[in-house]
């Protein structure tokens, strides 16, 4: 047991995905002392694209140009959705905040006005709100149908330029593909995306790559690459590409786990660290006990157990992959506190008969239920504790994957929870920006 | 007087013999600095080149940009002992007191006939300030020894560092010199016999009645233990004594109270002074004192106390190296010098990164203070590789070192230990004891797996982590570990590229093929940077598993290799 035992944190954030990171960031920038427990590994599955709300309703798959209009429609049809509870203003300010923090940490985002259609490595397009500056030219080139060259690297298995052309060529007639040998990799049969990304942070490697790409440009007025243009300095690397090739350059997000996922994780970790959040990366919270005005958390890592005390707790443990929810044949449970999980009545009603059911499966909308300010309910239907909040995908009554609302849900609910906690603890109001 | 031993033939013979032997010992040690070869590059330079580098290079350095570094080293490191000051204030205080105490005693007292006597017109050991100062410096040396002993005990991480028997002999000789010196002085203060010898020598006679006044004065003021003077002296007799004292004695004799160590000893010894006089104790003590000094000269070059010679040389060489690398010949000689310059003080051990492992393995050969000696031994001509436990323990010490460099930073005499370890590993490899990574990578993983299968049948799990299916059950083979791995990123050539990426190693374990994982290059090339573990989205302890495999490979593949190795 270490000396931290004696300290009582203002807020303990459990979980380090998009929701946990946002909550830690927001709480720390409000001047609260934050203990943040959890490994941000889940962020590696992210694409770097930040959704707010792209699709509603799910069954017909209606895609919206403006997330705020979509949210208004959602409010009418589904008033119990957590995004509706939080409201557009909170979601907007939370997203602005997250994107500006990511920019400060070396992962700049394009100014967001509405939703964009971003081409993916599968040759599909994805509707999304926050787009890294390194990817935004792809959405513009696709929208305007510009003659565009897609380049891939021999040995990099995640991305085939010609496969993208084959799939989306009829929607994008000016699209061409080409394959080049990545510098210094002639002897390698397989390339790894992160190694390519770090190699491109060296200007010498970039120069040699440019020499190989320039002869292929032809009539192209934009050029796309797999999302490997730099790792921690992707903003600078992208600028260098545009300057050297003399035209808009864009990255196409690749399949998880991807370089943009690593960038997002690294940038959020840097941002959280810069705000003085105290992190326990290798620990997991195995229990929380409420003792009057203070919550006692039990933490475990490879070395053993520890306890920590906090005046407020934000639960951001995610769904099944993040182990915030666990399922067995009898049902779905929340493992740390045994909170109430709203779920289909019986196991056999979890899924529809059709695997690719357009409306989604009932189990996808299972999750915690909260009161009007975001406090999860216990088995008896009361808030489990005065200052326990649940944020992000662990919440029920939403289907973030199909609705394309993951980041908005995470950041928006985190913003609302921190706002409520700061008010309750008597902290200062929200800091502008 | 007793000092006449210095004019006796035996003393002169003993002096010259011990100086000759001590000189030969010194020469022998100096020659080893130029002949001992530590490191594979040491074979590239000859004795002649090293001699030239030491003499020519040393003199040349005095007229080069190296001079300021050498001067700084001499004044700050050698005289002020800056490095010890930074490491341990207590030991610094103790060591400086010994250094000053003994140096001054050596120059002013032992060499009095050649130096002090010529330097000062009025030098008498029995006059102040010399009487006081001898006690001051003697006491300093004694206090210094006590401080060092206290400081040392605090810093021994693994119990007492290794000592040679000669070290104990020399320490005992030093103690004899210090104690006999004080006892001798005390006995001379209190001795009536010495009193009479002086009165006789200066023509005052030896008649007790005639000298009554002077004796009273010397009993009262100088602490001579006359057993036949009782009561109070007659005032006239005393006045006569004082008169005589001021005419004959005071010019050469200060009152001995300023000998603040010996005088109280003399008072305490008063009851037995007569007995000691009868036994000629002053003469015996003087011989003891002198012979212990002479024997010390003979033994010195073969003890760690030789650092008094080696360390100044080592520190000045270090100062020279500060303004640019030394020649290869110079570097090689510095390594050889290190074995003599190391006093096995154990300060490095206390900060050694692998000290906890040394304790856990119960192998003190991991500790730097022991490794200096081991490195020297392995480099020595007499050392031959034998497949014995002793050699393996030395090799374990050399190869488990993390090269963190803390020993080099902390060494109070500024030895370049990092360079020494590097060179020592070369020698071990040349003697058939390379690092495990070297011999394991001599054949591919599949060959080890086959050998293990032949030898053991079924290969046991590598350890608790690899044995537990839950360690890997969450692995989705997403390649993040491989993606972030700097060792995989390094690529390299076909000959040295990693064979199995981290995610493949995890997959092998998941499939129960631990035998294939054990001999893989990845396990040994792993930089243990923990990137894989920190980035694993499923929280799998990839690096911890690699380390477990490494330990298991060493345990399980070692015997296979030993059985196959030609005799």
pLDDT in tens, A135-153: 999 999 999 999 999 999 9
Q: Do B480 and A257 touch (CB under 8 A)?
A: yes
* Chain A residues with beta carbon closer than 8 angstroms to that of B491: 184-185, 187-188, 195
Nearest CA in chain B to A193: B483
Give the separation between CA B305 and CA B341, rounded to whole angstroms.
9
Q: In terms of domains, do A290 and A403 share one?
A: yes
Nearest to A251 by CA among A181, A186, A200, A189: A200
pLDDT over 90 (residue B467):
no
Q: What domains can you pick out in chain B, each with its CATH number?
A: 2-156+163-187+294-307 (no CATH), 190-288 (no CATH), 344-438 (no CATH), 442-564 (1.10.1060)
- Work out the minimum CA distance from B86 to partner chain A, whole angstroms: 29
Out of A39, A195, A281, closest to residue B489 by CB? A195
B537 with A41: Cβ contact below 8 A: yes
What CA–CA distance (Å, rounded) separates A144 from B327?
68
- Same-domain pairing of A351 and A271: yes
- Is residue B497 predicted with pLDDT exceeding 80? no
Domain termination site, one of A252, A282, A310: A252
Residue A259 within any structural domain of the chain: no
* Residues in B 429-488 with any Cβ partner in A closer than 8 A: 478-480, 482-484, 488
Q: Kindly state whether residue A433 falls inside one of the protein's structural domains.
A: no
Say if residue A305 is in the same domain as residue A346.
Answer: yes
pLDDT digits (tens, 9 = 90+) for B315-370: 998 998 888 888 899 999 999 999 889 988 888 988 899 988 888 888 889 999 88
pLDDT score of A116 more than 80:
yes
Same structural domain, A319 and A405:
yes
Average pLDDT, stretch B17-40? 93
Alpha carbons B296 and B293: distance in angstroms, whole number: 5
Whether residue A20 is contained in a domain is answered as yes
pLDDT tens digits along B22-32: 999 999 999 99
Q: Which of residues 252-291 of A touch B (CB under 8 A)?
A: 256-257, 262, 265, 281-282, 284
Q: Are residues A280 and A416 in the same domain?
A: yes
Q: Is A41 in Cβ contact with B536 (below 8 Å)?
A: yes
Residue B450, pLDDT > 70, answer yes
Smallest CA–CA separation between A38 and chain B, in Å? Answer: 10
In a domain? residue A257: no
Q: Examine the pLDDT at A110 and tell me if it is beyond 50.
A: yes
Nearest CA in chain A to B488: A195
> What's the rounded mean pLDDT across residues A378-385?
93
Q: Tell me how many residue pairs between chain A and chain B have CB atoms under 8 A apart.
A: 52
Contact B77, B83 (CB under 8 A): yes
Each residue's pLDDT tens digit, B172-213: 999 999 999 999 999 999 999 999 988 888 888 888 888 888
Residue A202's pLDDT is 94
pLDDT at B56: 84
A304 and A394 together in one domain? yes
Domain ends where: A252, A275, A298?
A252
Any idea how long chain B is? Answer: 567
pLDDT at B250: 85
Q: Do A194 and B489 touch (CB under 8 A)?
A: yes
Instruction: Note the pLDDT of residue B2.
Output: 45
Distance, in Å, from the CA atom of B250 to the CA atom of B256, rounded to the nearest integer, reads 11
From the list B480, B483, B491, which residue is nearest A188 (CB)? B491
pLDDT at position B26 is: 94
Q: How near does any CA of chain A get to the CA of B87, in Å?
A: 28
| Nearest chain A residue (CA) to B535 | A41
A262 and B482 within 8 Å at the Cβ level: the answer is no
Domain's final residue, options A226, A252, A278: A252
Contacts of B482 in chain A (CB under 8 A): 192
What is the CATH number for A325? 3.50.50.60
What's the pLDDT tens digit per position in B129-170? 888 888 999 999 999 989 988 887 776 666 676 677 888 899
**CATH at A196:** 3.40.50
* Pair type for strands A388-390 and A304-315: parallel
Q: Which of residues 482-541 of B touch A (CB under 8 A)?
A: 482-484, 488-489, 491, 493-494, 534-539, 541
Whether the Cβ atoms of residue B448 and residue B440 lie closer than 8 Å to each other: yes
Give residue A154's domain range.
121-252
* Count of structural domains, chain A: 2
Q: Which of A18, A39, A182, A281 to mutate to test the interface with B (most CBs of B within 10 A)?
A: A39
pLDDT of residue B389: 66
Residues A235 and A127 in one domain: yes
- The token duo for B415 is 């030895």
Mark yes or no for CB contact A185/B535 under 8 Å. no
How big is the CA angle at A132 (ends A282 and A126), to the nearest 5 degrees?
Answer: 95
If asked whether residues A240 and A274 sit together in one domain, one would say: no
Band the pLDDT of B229: cuts 50, 70, 90.
confident
Residue positions counted in chain A: 433
DSSP-assigned letters across all residues of B238-292: HHHHHHHHHHHTTTT---GGGSTTHHHHHHHHHHHHHHHHHTTHHHHHHHHHHHH
Report if residue A402 sits inside a domain: yes
Which residue of B lies nearest to A192 if distances are taken between CA atoms? Answer: B483
Q: Look at B488 and A265 and tell me if their CB atoms are within 8 Å.
A: no
Minimal C-alpha gap between B530 and chain A (Å): 11
Q: Rounded to whole angstroms, how far apart are CA atoms A56 and A196?
A: 38
DSSP 8-state symbol, A52: S
pLDDT at B566: 55
Residues of A in Cβ contact (< 8 Å) with B541: 302
- What token pair was written down for B422? 């590097």
* Out of A41, A45, A192, closest to residue B483 by CB: A192
Task: Indicate yes or no: CB of B479 within 8 angstroms of CB of A302.
Answer: no
A392 shares a domain with A273: yes
- Does the distance separating the beta carbons of B489 and A44 come in below 8 Å? no
A116 domain-assigned: no
B190 to B92, B127, B228, B253, B331: CA distances (angstroms): 36, 16, 14, 14, 57
Calculate how close chain B gets to A85, using CA atoms only, in Å.
30
Nearest in space to B435 (alpha carbons), one of B524, B354, B505, B357: B524
Residue of B nearest to A302 (CA): B541
Per-window interface: A 289-318 vs B, CB < 8 A: 302
pTM for the model stands at 0.70
Paired sense of beta strands A125-128 and A341-342, if any: unpaired
* Residues 6 or more apart in contact with residue B141 via CB below 8 angstroms: B97, B98, B101, B102, B105, B178
d(CA B136, CA B104): 10
The closest CB to that of B541, out of A187, A194, A302, belongs to A302
Report the C-alpha gap between B210 and B183 in whole angstroms: 30
Identify which has the larger pLDDT, A203 or B114: A203
**Residue B506 neighbours by CB distance under 10 Å:** 25
pLDDT score of A4? 46
Q: Look over chain B and give the mean of its residue pLDDT values, rounded to a whole number.
A: 87
Of A39, A187, A194, the CB nearest to B539: A39
Cβ A262–B534 below 8 Å, yes or no?
Answer: no
Q: What is the pLDDT of residue B1?
A: 42
- Are A187 and B488 within 8 A, CB to CB? no
Q: d(Cα B165, Cα B171) in Å, to the nearest integer?
A: 10
To test the contact with chain B by mutation, choose from A195, A197, A262 the residue with the greatest count of B C-beta atoms within 10 A, namely A195
* Record: contact A44-B480, CB cut-off 8 A: yes
Most confident residue range from A65-69, B401-405, B488-492, B505-509? A65-69
Higher pLDDT among residues A51 and B456, named by residue? A51
Report the complex ipTM: 0.75
Least Cα distance to B410 among B155, B80, B72, B97 occurs for B155
d(CA B561, CA B523): 18
Do A376 and A279 sit in the same domain of this protein? yes
Share of chain B above pLDDT 90, in %: 34
Residue B128 pLDDT grade (very low, low, confident, very high; cuts 50, 70, 90):
confident
Supply the pLDDT for residue B387: 55
Residue B226 CA from chain centroid, whole number: 48
**Does the residue A111 lie in any domain?**
no
**Among candidates A187, A194, A302 on the partner chain, residue whose Cβ is nearest the Cβ of B544:** A302
* Domain-embedded: residue A40: yes
Q: How far is CA B116 from CA B6, B7, B85, B189, B261, in A?
A: 16, 18, 31, 22, 22
| pLDDT attached to residue A90 | 96
Q: Residues A161-169: what's their mean pLDDT?
A: 96
Give the best residue of B483, B497, B531 to mutate against chain A (max A CB count within 10 A): B483
| Each residue's pLDDT tens digit, B378-424 | 888 777 665 566 778 888 889 889 899 999 998 989 999 999 999 99
Residues A247 and A269 in one domain: no
A256 neighbourhood in chain B, CB within 8 Å: 478
- Give the mutation candidate from B474, B487, B491 for the A interface (greatest A CB count, under 10 A): B491
- Reported as a pLDDT band with limits 50, 70 and 90, residue A1 is very low
The pLDDT tens digits of the residues spanning B509-524 come to: 888 888 888 888 899 8
Residues A99 and A140 in one domain: no
**pLDDT for residue B557:** 87
A contact test, residue of B471, B503, B539, B544 with most A CBs within 10 A: B539
Q: Spell out which residues of chain B touch residue A281, defining contact as CB-CB under 8 Å.
A: 534
């Amino acid at each position: 047991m270490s000396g931290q035992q004696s300290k009582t944190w203002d807020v303990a954030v459990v979980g380090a995905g998009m929701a946990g990171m946002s909550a830690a960031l927001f709480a720390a920038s409000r001047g609260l002392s934050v203990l943040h427990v959890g490994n941000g590994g889940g962020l590696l599955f992210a694409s770097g694209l930040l959704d707010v709300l792209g699709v509603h309703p799910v069954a017909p798959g209606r895609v919206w140009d403006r997330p705020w209009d979509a949210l208004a429609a959602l409010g009418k049809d589904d008033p119990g959705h957590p995004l509706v509870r939080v409201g557009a203003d909170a979601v907007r300010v939370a997203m602005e905040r997250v994107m500006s923090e990511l920019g400060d940490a070396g992962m700049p985002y394009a100014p967001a006005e509405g939703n964009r259609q971003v081409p993916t490595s599968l040759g599909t397009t994805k509707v999304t709100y926050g787009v890294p500056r390194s990817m935004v030219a792809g959405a513009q080139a696709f929208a305007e149908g510009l003659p565009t060259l897609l380049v891939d690297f021999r040995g990099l298995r995640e991305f085939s330029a010609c496969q993208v052309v084959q799939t989306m060529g009829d929607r994008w007639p000016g699209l061409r593909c080409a394959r080049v040998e990545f510098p210094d990799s002639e002897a390698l049969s397989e390339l790894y995306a992160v190694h390519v990304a770090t190699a491109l942070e060296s200007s010498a490697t970039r120069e040699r790559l440019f020499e190989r790409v320039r002869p292929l440009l032809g009539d192209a007025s934009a050029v796309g690459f797999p999302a490997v243009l730099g790792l921690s300095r992707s903003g600078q690397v992208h600028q260098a590409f545009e300057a050297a090739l003399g035209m808009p350059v864009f990255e196409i997000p690749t399949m998880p786990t991807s370089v943009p996922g690593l960038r997002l994780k690294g940038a959020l970790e840097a941002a959280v660290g810069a705000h003085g959040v105290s992190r326990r990366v290798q620990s997991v919270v195995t229990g929380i006990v409420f003792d009057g005005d203070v919550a006692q958390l039990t933490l475990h890592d490879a070395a053993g157990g520890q306890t920590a005390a906090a005046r407020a707790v934000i639960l951001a443990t995610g769904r099944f992959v993040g182990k915030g929810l666990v399922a067995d044949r009898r049902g779905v449970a929340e493992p740390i506190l045994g909170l109430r999980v709203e779920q289909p009545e019986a196991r056999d009603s979890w899924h529809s008969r059709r695997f690719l059911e357009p409306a989604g499966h009932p189990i996808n909308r299972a999750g915690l239920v909260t009161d009007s300010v975001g406090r999860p309910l216990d088995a008896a239907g009361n808030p489990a504790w005065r200052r326990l909040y649940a944020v992000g995908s662990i919440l029920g009554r939403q289907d973030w994957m199909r609705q394309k609302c993951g980041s908005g849900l995470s950041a928006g609910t985190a913003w609302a929870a921190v706002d409520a906690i700061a008010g309750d603890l008597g902290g200062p109001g929200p800091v502008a920006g | 007087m007793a000092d006449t031993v210095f004019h006796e033939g035996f003393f002169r013979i003993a002096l010259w013999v011990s100086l000759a032997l001590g000189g030969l010992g010194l020469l022998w040690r100096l020659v080893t600095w130029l002949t001992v070869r530590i490191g594979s590059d040491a074979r590239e330079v000859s004795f002649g080149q090293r001699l030239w580098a030491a003499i020519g290079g040393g003199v040349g350095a005095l007229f080069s940009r190296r001079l300021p570094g050498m001067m700084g080293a001499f004044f700050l490191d050698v005289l002020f002992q800056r490095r010890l000051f930074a490491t341990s204030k207590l030991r610094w205080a103790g060591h400086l007191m010994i250094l000053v105490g003994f140096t001054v005693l050596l120059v002013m007292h032992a060499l009095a006939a050649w130096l002090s006597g010529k330097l000062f017109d009025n030098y008498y050991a029995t006059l102040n300030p010399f009487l006081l100062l001898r006690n001051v410096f003697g006491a300093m040396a004694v206090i210094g020894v006590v401080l060092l002993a206290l400081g040392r005990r605090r810093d021994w991480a693994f119990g007492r560092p290794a000592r040679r028997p000669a070290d104990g002999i020399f320490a005992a000789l030093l103690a004899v010199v210090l104690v006999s010196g004080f006892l001798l002085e005390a006995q001379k203060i209190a001795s009536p016999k010495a009193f009479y010898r002086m009165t006789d020598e200066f023509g005052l006679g030896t008649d007790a009645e005639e000298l009554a006044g002077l004796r009273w004065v010397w009993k009262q003021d100088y602490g001579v233990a006359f057993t036949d003077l009782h009561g109070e002296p007659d005032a006239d007799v005393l006045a006569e004594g004082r008169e005589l004292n001021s005419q004959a004695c005071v010019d050469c004799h200060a009152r001995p109270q300023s000998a603040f160590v010996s005088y109280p000893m003399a008072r305490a010894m008063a009851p037995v002074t007569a007995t000691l006089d009868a036994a000629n104790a002053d003469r015996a003590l003087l011989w003891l004192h002198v012979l212990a000094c002479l024997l010390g000269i003979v033994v010195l070059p073969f003890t760690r106390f030789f650092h008094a010679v080696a360390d100044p040389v080592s520190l000045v060489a270090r100062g020279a190296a500060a303004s640019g690398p030394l020649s290869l010949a110079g570097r090689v000689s510095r390594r050889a010098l290190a074995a003599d310059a190391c006093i096995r003080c154990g300060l490095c051990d206390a900060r050694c990164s692998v000290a906890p492992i040394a304790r856990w393995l119960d192998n003190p050969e991991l500790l730097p203070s022991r490794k200096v000696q081991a490195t020297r031994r392995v480099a020595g001509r007499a050392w031959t590789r034998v497949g014995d436990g002793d050699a393996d323990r030395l090799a374990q010490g050399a190869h488990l070192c993390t090269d963190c460099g803390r020993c080099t930073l902390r060494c109070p005499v500024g030895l370049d230990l990092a360079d020494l370890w590097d060179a020592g590993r070369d020698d071990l490899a040349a003697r058939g004891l390379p690092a495990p990574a070297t011999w394991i990578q001599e054949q591919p993983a599949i060959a080890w797996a086959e050998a293990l299968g032949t030898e053991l049948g079924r290969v046991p799990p590598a350890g608790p982590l690899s044995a537990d299916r839950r360690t890997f059950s969450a692995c989705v083979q997403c390649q993040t570990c491989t993606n972030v791995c700097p060792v995989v990123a390094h690529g390299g050539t076909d000959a040295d590229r990693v064979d199995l990426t981290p995610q493949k190693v995890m997959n092998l374990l998941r499939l129960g093929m631990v035998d294939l994982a054990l001999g893989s290059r990845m396990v040994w090339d792993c930089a243990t940077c923990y990137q894989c573990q920190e980035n694993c989205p499923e929280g799998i302890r990839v690096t911890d598993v690699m380390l477990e495999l490494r330990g298991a490979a060493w345990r399980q593949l070692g015997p296979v290799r030993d059985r196959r190795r030609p005799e």
